[in-house]
Structure 1
Amino acid sequence: MTCFMFNQWKLYANGELPPAESKGLEQHAVECPQCQIKLQEWVDYMLEEEFSAYPEVPVPDTFTDEVMSKLFEEVPVRTARKRSSRTRRQRGWDIVKKTGLVVAGLTALVVTGTAVSPTFANYVNSLFQIEKDADSGMKNAVNKGLVQKLEQKITDQGITFEAKELMADSMRIAIIFDMYDQNGKQIEDHSMKLQLIDSNGKDWLAEDGREESGSSHGQFFITELSLNDIFESAEATPDQLTLKIVPTDIEGKTGKWELEIPVDMKKAKEATKTVAFKDAVYQSPQGLELKLKQIEFSPSATRVMLDSTVPKSAYVEFERAVLMYDKDHPEGVHITNKKVEPTLSGGDIAYEITNEKGEVVAARDMFGLDKGIAKKKNVLYVSGLSSKQEGDITKWWHTFGPLQGEQKLKFQLQKVYENKLASPKFDLIPEDLNKKAATFKDETGSSFTFSSFSWTPASGEEKGKAVIIVEGTLGKDVVSIRYWYVKDENGKTYYATLNPESTRDKDGRVHFKGELVIPKLEQAPKRLTICYPEYTVEHHVNWEVPFEIK
């Protein structure tokens, strides 16, 4: 079906579409992510002055108050509070009076509850649609009816903890909540312990004792619980759960703010489609084995599930300079750390999911790869673990935004990345770099130019640091150098960081430029030796697995 245009939404809001066309519009919006995005943009615009060019219509004050009380019934009016909801409400009233037919038509539908589908009404009224930074997956879950209003709050010692709205998807649970004092002032300094209890009384979070603080998103707080590392799949998730939230500290106080929220997972499980794979195995020449196990499609997210196995021969000892913080070194101390790790990983891969037209609908690349050369699309960063070790096998969960509807797709593995040991040494006289840059070429075929040295002495609590500009071209198939360290004229080793901006040329070679920062350098060095212990290369792959969402 061809996507509906904005003018049709205007006609729909005003009740000017034929009944059959209105029903088709609603049904299409339920299944079309693009229209859902456009619809959300439209709802957002209604809270701004984007529609001020439309003709004004008289709106009685009583009607406006009723409309806005419906739209913002979950936003209590308080005083002496940051991001005042009263200010926001007043702004909303002013906007409604200015906007004209489009908003008047929509708000009439919201207030009267007529000529509007339940999914559309939920879409407009849900806090997940209004709150800043609630991602597209959360909003899509709302549109699918996987959200419930909560009317739970508890007050102790003049502090109120209030749960406002719950989103329960097969891949994650999210809750919007608020904490405020008797004057309505929001409290940001808090921590909570979460429990996820099934009907048999088992707490699925008991082993890790998960602590959350919730992040501020717009008017309230959102805390999110990924189900990746709790339940192996949507099918394995219990139908009924209880989310128990126990605030352990609010502004340094302990008290009785415990809430228990029933979570019905059955509807979320029914809304999730699963594609399982049999014998979808790739063996790389370097020894990495990848098994594509299954892909789950829920209203809130898409989850690719992989198993990886690495041979013992791929494990080597890496030695890195790090900045360690502990109780004996609260300000940090430079140490050298040795660790045996695999050179290959199921996380260090690049792949795409494409549709029948060849369009990329999701893409993932190696974590930590500079954004200038990484190919990522529709990646969804959720809380919780993305991998788990079980013997020789590592299980991976890669999460993307929702992919909806029946369609034929293709999983295309494109790259496997490998870490390799290195031992270059670039000897510099820092003072000379401001007069003349120094250029080196190493055994990987990479070239580096160092220039513009500066050193800032310690001041108060700030320790000294040095900065050197570095630019260069990496060797063939080399894509990243993530760990750097330097030694001064006395042989003391310092951890260093390089945050480059990278690009590729027509031959695929990576060019970069950035600042090499050496923290906690107590005095200006006379000589420096710059090193990196490892680098990453890419191996190109062409492995495809077609599948279909039914």
Structure 2
Amino acid sequence: MKKTTLAVASVTAILTLGSVVSPTLASDVGSVIQSIKGVDQGMKQAAEKGHVQEINNSETDQGITLFVKEVAIDPVRVAIIAKLVDQNGKRIHIDKEKDEFSITYKTKFGIDYIVGGGGFSFVEEGEFLVIKHDIFPFLIDKETQPDEMIASIKGTILGGKEGNWKVEFPVDMKKARAVTNYTEIGQKYTTHGIEIALQNMMTVPSTSLMQFDTYWTKEREEQIQKWKEQNSWIVESKQPEEFTEEYTVEEIVDRYFTDIGLAYQIMDEKGNVVVGWDDAVHEELNQIRKNNVEIWRKNKVHVDRKGETNWSGLTPLAKGESYKLKMHSLYLYEPSKFQATIPIGTLLKDKVTVTNSDSTYTLTGFTLKTTEGEEKIGNETYFGKGALISFSAILPEGIVNTTEWSAQDESKQKYDVSLKEKSTRGKDGRVHVTGTFFIRDLIKQPKELKLSHLLQQRQYQNLNWEVPFKS
């Protein structure tokens, strides 16, 4: 399932600008984005063209200083370069499990932007802390994009200490807005029960943002309804008070059916591939990704749940040039009928190979993890108690991913199953997988285990759709 990190709601209070600047850090001048490995080429390109603003503001609490050095921003993304130091100016490392950051925005008149969820991350890169945020979901309308915003970075736990750190600063977007351009395309293509509409491309200093809308056709809608009826996956309507954090199987399946993945390439006038985008979970299968810009908010499900709006971020395309987009693949989920019964006694002595529904799995070894805490087994780390079974597999032709695995022992007790896996494309064109099943909460050796998975993802290739456009 696609996951996003929840962004903290915007702050309503208006604070005075101009926090104290740390003397230890104030001398650290000049843009540093070019030297930071984790900043992508699109953001570095924006910095080269002058879309970086010096901030040099800080806030100190509990003997810890949060220092904001600079910010690069345009109508799609923001990258904030910061540092966390102690009283002696010594760097403090971030604990991503414990430390808590948020970033909020308001207009220069103090009106909060409704940021919504997703798109916020922070990571250490060399000596700096890089805070990234996708802001296009609340600035996508070019008519309401501001010339100036006030950004606030707030920390509530830093360096293992609870406190109150807030660095607030204005960001000027006039220069970035002046060079933002829109390419309206509006071309449609229907294949395998999906209508794909390439709507437009917005180019800002740090990225070109390609927007697609995908819709179920009547054929796809009828097929999904048939699958739901055959498997008793009908989602019952709920009242607001009935919703919980736990999803039913029917709701999970419904979300997968809504997920529509795309892969495409963009060529220049000479036929050179300048961009390769791929929504595949296992990017190594096609090896076409090229000049991507990471954005977190990649899709928005339509209200009727029969399609999505998809965005993909690319290294900025040159203005006034002619290009051609060629659709490479379409990814859709479908039910799986795979089931396999594994005799554990045999597995302890020898490998077990099972073939079902055109999938072949070879299993080797059975190990119980008896500790609740973190433990490294082989090359992977596992949490909680459970059983591990190593495997290799060949998936059915056209299938590139399997999901929603479960296991059941001879007493009909069911267990959730997670996978650590690596996928490659074999010479036969089929996907070959190696990895480990982790049967969570299985604490004693059963006589047998029945393994199955609800869904599989199919890749449709050789799509006959090319779209020429001029940026």
Aligned identity (percent) is 28
* Cα distance change, pair 171–206 in 1 and its aligned pair in 2 (3 A): closer
CA distance, structure 2, for counterparts of residue 467 and residue 198 of structure 1: 53
Return the alpha-carbon distance in structure 2 between the equivalents of residues 219 and 382 of structure 1. 23
* Structure 1 residue 200, shift from structure 2 partner: 4.5
Amino acid of the structure 2 residue aligned with 1:304: M
Supply the AA of the counterpart residue of 2:162. K
Q: In the TM superposition, what is the alpha-carbon distance from 1:499 to its structure 2 partner?
A: 3.1
Which residue matches 1:519? 440
Indicate which of 54, 67, 70 corresponds to 1:149: 54
1-structure distance, mates of 2:100, 2:468: 45
1:227 aligns with 2:135: yes
Does residue 191 (structure 1) correspond to residue 109 (structure 2)? The answer is no
The aligned runs of 1:109-188 (5 Å cut-off) are 125-187=30-92, 188=94
**How far off is 1:171 after superposition?**
1.3
CA shift digits 1:196-244 (9 cap, x unpaired): 1124433113655x89673222112111121231112556421221112
> CA 1:222/1:235 → structure 2, altered by over 3 Å: closer, same or farther?
farther
**Larger RCO: 1 or 2 (CA < 8 Å, sep 6+):** 2
The 5 Å alignment of 1:405-420 reads: 406-420=320-334
| d(CA) in 2 for partners of 1:503, 1:234 | 42
Q: Which amino acid counterpart does residue 308 of structure 2 have in structure 1?
A: T
Deviation of 1:165 (Å): 0.5
Give me the whole-angstrom Cα distance separating, in 2, the residues matched to 1:176 and 1:395. Answer: 31
Structure 1 pair 76–396 and aligned structure 2 pair: CA distance change class (3 A): farther
Aligned to 1:350: 263
Relative to total residues, which structure has the larger helix share, 1 or 2? 1
The whole-number CA distance in structure 1 between the counterparts of 2:166 and 2:385 is 46
Return closer, same or farther for 1:547/1:344 CA change in 2, 3 Å cut-off.
farther
Inter-CA distance 230–520: structure 2 relative to 1 (3 Å threshold): same
Is the Cα contact below 8 Å between 2:195 and 2:215 reproduced in 1? yes
Q: CA deviation at 1:366?
A: 2.7
| Aligned-partner residue type, residue 273 of structure 1 | N
TM-score by length of 1: 0.68
Distance change in 2, residues 1:244/1:373 (3 Å): same
Shift of 1:409: 1.1
Counterpart of 1:202, as a letter, is I
CA–CA distance in structure 2, aligned partners of residues 275 and 146 of structure 1: 22
Paired residue type of 2:161: G
Report the AA paired with residue 83 of structure 2: D
Match of 1:542?
464
Deviation at 1:432, TM superposition (A): 0.9
Residues 458/201 of structure 1: CA separation in 2 closer, same or farther (3 Å cut): closer
Question: For residues 146 and 235 of structure 1, do their structure 2 counterparts lie closer, same or farther at Cα, with a shift above 3 Å needed?
Answer: farther
Q: Distance in 2 between matches of 1:207 and 1:424?
A: 39
Query: Structure 1 residue 295: deviation in Å?
Result: 1.1
Q: 1:458 aligns with which of 371, 379, 396?
A: 371
| 2:297 is the alignment partner of 1:388 | no
Matched, 1:215 2:123: yes
1:203 to 112, 119, 143: 112
Distance across 1 between alignment mates of 2:283 and 2:446: 30
Deviation at 1:411, TM superposition (A): 1.3
In the TM superposition, residue 249 of structure 1 has moved relative to its aligned partner by 3.5
User: Does structure 1 residue 508 correspond to structure 2 residue 414?
Assistant: no
The aligned residue for residue 446 of structure 1 is 359
CA distance, structure 1, for counterparts of residue 22 and residue 36 of structure 2: 11
- The letter for the 2-side match of 1:260 is E
Whole-Å separation in 1 of the counterparts to 2:119 and 2:320: 38
- Whole-Å separation in 2 of the counterparts to 1:149 and 1:526: 65
Structure 2 unaligned spans of 5+: 1-20, 234-245, 375-382
Give the SS at the match of 1:495.
Answer: strand
AA partner of residue 388 (structure 1): K
Q: Measure how far apart 1:487 and its partner are.
A: 0.9
How far apart are 1:281 and its partner, in Å? Answer: 1.2
Correspondence for 1:294: 200
Instruction: Give the CA deviation at 1:511.
Output: 2.3
Contact persistence 2:119–2:133 (CA under 8 A): no
Q: Is 1:470 equivalent to 2:391 in the alignment?
A: yes
Change (3 A) 1:523 1:237: same
Aligned length: 415
1:463 deviates by 4.0
Separation in 2 of the partners of 1:228 and 1:245? Answer: 18
Counterpart check, 1:273 vs 2:181: yes
- Aligned equivalent of 2:275: 362
Closer/same/farther in 2, CA of residues 495 and 344 from structure 1, 3 Å limit: closer
| Unaligned segments of structure 1, at least 5 residues | 1-73, 79-84, 90-121, 321-333
Asked if structure 2 preserves the Cα contact closer than 8 Å seen for 1:308 and 1:346, the reply is: no
CA contact (8 A) 1:229 1:386 kept: no
Q: 1:335 and 1:548, CA in 2 relative to 1: closer, same or farther beyond 3 A?
A: closer
What root-mean-square deviation, in Å, do the aligned CA atoms of Structure 1 and Structure 2 show? 3.2
Shift of 1:371: 2.5
Give TM-score scaled by structure 2 length. 0.78
In structure 1, C-alpha distance between the alignment counterparts of 2:144 and 2:247, rounded to whole Å: 44
User: Structure 1 residues 253, 465: CA separation in 2 closer, same or farther (over 3 Å shift)?
Assistant: closer
SS of 1:253's partner is strand
C-alpha contact (below 8 Å) 2:201/2:211 kept by paired residues:
yes
